[in-house]
Structure 1
Amino acid sequence: MPFPTSKTKNKGTRLRALAVSAAAACLAAAVTGCAGADTTLPSSARTRPGATSQATRYGAVDCREVKCIALTFDAGPSENSARLLDVLKEKQVPATFFLLGKRHIEKYPELVRRMAAEGHEVASHTWDHKILTQITPEEIREELRRPNDEIERLTGRRPTLMRPPQGRTDKTVHEISRELGLAEVLWTVTAKDYATTDSALIRRRVLAQADRDGIILLHDLYDGTVPAVPGIIDALKERGFVFVTVPQLLAPGEAVPGEVYR
């Protein structure tokens, strides 16, 4: 699939500017996001009382026994998503997609359906990428409710996960997420692909940070990202990693609404 048109690139430029601004504000937390809340590790989620009751829900992968890692993509769907889905299908790798509503789900509903149909986890990155800690509680509800409604309409399944824009969250966001049945998912690996088109650099950054139970943050709307993905997958498989969705990473535990995971 061709890379972005000028209109899509303008959107990418806007998001790149937002991300660069976030990086400056959150320099000390550049790898794991800007949340000030306590976070739950995947290994902790897997060992909670009662977790074994869900042991077979997410298939044969058991991250208590194998070295798992989750590949996640923010801010799609985009013109690059079909190409990315082709790569993931060829490599037999599941991913978790945190989707934007406005100008994304609205524009590419067929890609949302394809993501779900091909076994990927479809989640929310809000409707319009508003910073949730800077808006009113009612605006937070709207930012989270609208993409959930659209994803459920398209796929038949309501999201249970969301990623706050720029990783910014607080007590109010947790409470509203709990009310809406959403857990928050941050990350442990970032390639800062919003700041470079160098696919080789994106690959090196991911590989340098990757570890067991890692959550990789990438954005498929940027020019350098999708070309980096095959090399990332191949190199991590060679290291013995097994790719899983975020729910698989937490299984046999499950994400609890209102909690933050990374």
Structure 2
Amino acid sequence: MDPRMQKQPPFLPNEPKRIALTFDDGPDLQYTPEILEILDAYGVQSSFFCIGSQVQKFPNVLRRMVRDGHVVANHSWDHPYLTKESKSSVRMQLEQTSDIIEETVGLRPRLFRPPYGDINETLSTQVHSLGYDIVLWDVDSVDWSGISGPSILSNVLPPLKADSILLHHCAGNVSGTVDALPYLIEVAKAIRYQFVTIDVLLGTPAYCIE
């Protein structure tokens, strides 16, 4: 079952509404550390869908993510359109990425986000057969396009609702996200949103258990 289809208990009027910040495409040495500093300053834990080749380049940044209490998940090895790949290539993209994450931090991800959100029934079946849960999103910052902080906020704040999964990026042309993130966190907290990691929001384990 798609974890986003799981029922969540109803919220009482005064209870915080849970949302999950997620970041794709890292780690890198430019924007990921800045984002981690902001999250740490605000006491917010987030979820990072990591590219295996980037983990291989910047293992210490991945280690910091885990040390700071963030969830790390699988976002393929080098970000292809997986619906255009062979089954053997899809398997390699996922398993090689989980291997390098496990070698780096001792945790093997169970959560996977397909690059570009590119998914179909055939790919979904294969991903689930490999033991992964697929995680998409419902609020898209469109930060990958290089837009400014105010534009990112206008994409994110109006559609925000309880149980939203927010899509941002922590690598690429994403200076706008670094600019927008403090204000986004402050506004969301002011209107009683509580930031949680994706596994908590969806009620599913983040990592494989041996």
TM-score relative to the length of structure 1 = 0.72
Q: 1:153 to 1:163 in 2, by over 3 A?
A: same
Q: Match for 2:117 among 150, 162, 167? A: 167
- Paired with 1:131 and 1:162, the residues of 2 have a C-alpha distance of 14
User: RMSD over aligned Cα, in angstroms?
Assistant: 2.2
Taking a change above 3 Å as real, the CA distance of residues 91 and 131 of structure 1, as seen in their structure-2 partners, is: same
Q: Does 1:234 align with 2:197?
A: no
Kindly state the Cα deviation for residue 110 of structure 1 after the two structures are TM-superposed.
Answer: 0.2
| 4+ runs deviating over 6 angstroms | none
Residues 3 and 133, structure 2, Cα contact 8 Å, conserved in 1 = no
- Offset at 1:256? 10
User: How far is 1:66 from its partner?
Assistant: 3.6
Judge conservation of contact 1:42–1:249 (CA < 8 Å) in 2: no
Check the 8 A contact 1:183/1:255 in 2, yes or no: no
C-alpha distance in 2 between matches for 1:187 and 1:244: 14
Match of 2:72 in 1: 122
Query: Does the residue aligned with 2:20 lie in a helix, a strand or coil?
Result: strand
Aligned equivalent of 1:32:
none
Q: Is the 8 A contact 2:75 2:114 kept in 1?
A: yes
Distance in 2 (CA, whole Å) between partners of 1:101 and 1:143 is: 8
Letter in 1 for 2:121: K
Q: Which runs of 5+ in 2 are unaligned?
A: none
Indicate the SS of the match to 1:116: helix
Query: What is the letter of the counterpart of residue 239 of structure 1?
Result: I
Identical aligned residues as a percent: 35
TM-score normalised by L of structure 2: 0.89
Please state if 1:96 is matched with 2:47.
yes
d(CA) in 2 for partners of 1:207 and 1:41?
Answer: 20
Alignment partner, residue 81 of structure 2 = 131
Assess, with a 3 A threshold, how the Cα gap between structure 1 residues 175 and 146 changes in structure 2: closer, same or farther. same
Partner Cα distance (2:105, 2:95) in 1: 15
Match of 2:4 in 1: 41
1:85: which partner in 2? Answer: 36
